[in-house]
Structure 1
């Protein structure tokens, strides 16, 4: 399972969902889907825009959780 840590990076950068939405040109609703781990995919262009806006690496936004860890959380 891939966990999206968008909310963590937003908090570290003190950035609101609406401000990030403006910077990456994605609707707040679609950004919220990503933030709440409801999305099924992410485009590389979106990932690139998020990394630029949050001044981070893709690995800061995503982490791999193996099957065993998934059941323990």
Structure 2
């Protein structure tokens, strides 16, 4: 699934593909915000770790879990 994270005062977004479910990603972010944590951490499909500071966290966009089609559709 495609995940897009917005950072305040930054024109760029963090984009990653994750094998985690949308509910799991949402739960990680909500738990970090509710607990006043300094950061939260997500892992992409390749095993790369993204540590996002909560103080500059702007938004989270979670794409669909449906795989993309390749080729032409009639």
Would you say same fold, with TM above 0.5? no
TM-score, normalised by the number of residues in structure 2: 0.29
The structure in which a higher percent of residues are strand is 2
The structure in which a higher percent of residues are helix is 1
TM-score, normalised by the number of residues in structure 1: 0.30
